[in-house]
Amino acid sequence: MSIKLSQIMQAVEIVAPPKIAEDWDNVGLQVGSRKQAIHRILLTLDITTAVVNEAVSKNVDLIIAHHPFIFKGLKTLSSDTVKGAMIEELIKNDIAVYVAHTNMDKGVAGLNDYLAKRMGLDKIRTLEPSNPTIYYKLVVYSPVEYTAKLIDVFGKNGAGSIGDYDYCTYRSSGIGTFRPLTGANPFSGKINTLSSAAEDRIESIIPEQELKNLILQLKRSHPYEEMAYDVIPLENGQLINEVGLGKIGVLSHPMEAAMFITHVKETLGLSVLRGAGAAPEIIRRVAICSGAGADMIGLAKSKRADVLITGDLKHHDGQRALENNFWVLDAGHYGTEKWVVDCFKNILAEHLGIECPEIMVAESSQDFIMNY
Ligand SMILES: [Zn+2]
């Protein structure tokens, strides 16, 4: 079975929209065309020469990677360079490359959500909500017979998305009064006569970037010449926003530190687990940040985490943890991010269903750091 690459991108971007990627990042389609037909996909954390060779030998049409293949500006495509030779090999074999990186880290149901669930955490929240979204409450007054239609417009245009729910609106009924003046073309009522109509007050939340479009779409569907509406800024936008780095949640069964170390090693498939700082007796509240998240030590502590699990811990990160009387575990950059292939697999299966092309996981993707 084959589908267009653009459909695969759409599926990934439901969970990892490119607009939430960090500014310094480079995500999206890096080699190939959106129009390309895809029969077989290879999933990987990194794209190395070995992974490109594996893609060629396995006859795949698309590599989906977490770490950007093309990150900084290329000065040459010469095949005498390692990168140039890889690009040449990919193009010769019609293999496209698509990358979802910090957008996959930060997506509400992205890599960190996957890790938090894998660790058995409940009540999962975002550790560092970013791209702070400003939310508004939009209130529109509608003749009762148009209420259902307008609620549909609210929902279709992104209003009322809260957690696992969308189309969240509230309505109350009342009487609206108005007087159409000379020159008006009223939906109901008479010119120069005080009129009234049974109306619903429909209200819903909407992120700032969607507000203008929603008002425009509502005006198009609203029967009145002048749609009456209120735009109210909300203080709790940050709370609604769950896009961002890292997750924090609670273990349904709190554990002693020694047991928790075993739990992390087993859950993440690690032979080695480094750590620093002071381990509390009982671990209940756990923060996790894939890749290099030692910067989150202060934030995790302020959010009352008993431990932060991340990768790439340096000497002075360990010192900081100790000085802050906080416990941090280093499960490795690879150890926390190798799971991205499972994450991609789940997303593609869920959003493409029976249209999903054959998926393979790169066997040649590896941890560059060795424990001897
Ligand atoms: Zn990484």
Q: Which residues are near ligand 1, the ion (C-beta closer than 5 Å)?
A: 291, 337
66 is in an annotated binding site: yes
Asked if 327 and 307 count as a contact pair (C-beta separation under 8 A), the reply is yes
- Tell me the CA–centroid distance for residue 312 and ligand 1, in Å: 10
Asked if 223 and 176 count as a contact pair (C-beta separation under 8 A), the reply is no
Q: How high is the mean pLDDT in each 10-residue block of the chain (372 residues)? A: 92 94 96 97 98 98 97 93 97 98 95 97 92 84 97 95 88 96 94 96 93 96 96 79 91 96 97 96 98 96 97 96 96 98 96 94 95 90
Nearest to 347 by CA among 35, 64, 40: 64
- Tell me the CA–centroid distance for residue 311 and ligand 1, in Å: 9
- Tell me the CA–centroid distance for residue 26 and ligand 1, in Å: 13
101 is in an annotated binding site: no
CA-to-CA distance for 73 and 338, rounded, in angstroms? Answer: 26
- Tell me the CA–centroid distance for residue 216 and ligand 1, in Å: 40
Q: How many C-beta atoms lie closer than 10 Å to residue 275's C-beta? A: 18
Name the H helices within the chain.
5-15, 49-57, 82-92, 102-106, 111-118, 147-156, 208-221, 237-240, 257-268, 297-302, 315-323, 333-337, 340-352
CA-to-CA distance for 28 and 77, rounded, in angstroms? Answer: 20
- pLDDT at position 238 is 62
- Give the type of residue at 337: E
Name the H helices within 16-81.
49-57
- Tell me the CA–centroid distance for residue 176 and ligand 1, in Å: 56
- Tell me the CA–centroid distance for residue 67 and ligand 1, in Å: 6
337 is in an annotated binding site: yes
- Tell me the CA–centroid distance for residue 353 and ligand 1, in Å: 28
Asked if 331 and 273 count as a contact pair (C-beta separation under 8 A), the reply is yes
- Tell me the CA–centroid distance for residue 339 and ligand 1, in Å: 11
- Tell me the CA–centroid distance for residue 197 and ligand 1, in Å: 59
What is the torsional sign of CA 89, 366, 18, 359?
A: positive
- pLDDT at position 132 is 62
- pLDDT at position 34 is 97
- Tell me the CA–centroid distance for residue 354 and ligand 1, in Å: 30
- Tell me the CA–centroid distance for residue 164 and ligand 1, in Å: 27
Give 140's strand partners. Answer: 202, 229
Non-local (6+) Cβ contacts of 189 within 8 A are: 178, 179, 180, 195, 196, 197
Give 98's strand partners. Answer: 29, 64
- pLDDT at position 239 is 63
Domains for the chain: give ranges and CATH numbers: 3-100+339-361 (3.40.1390.30), 107-129+244-331 (3.40.1390.30), 135-240 (3.30.70.120)
- Tell me the CA–centroid distance for residue 146 and ligand 1, in Å: 50
316 is in an annotated binding site: no
- pLDDT at position 131 is 60
- Tell me the CA–centroid distance for residue 333 and ligand 1, in Å: 6
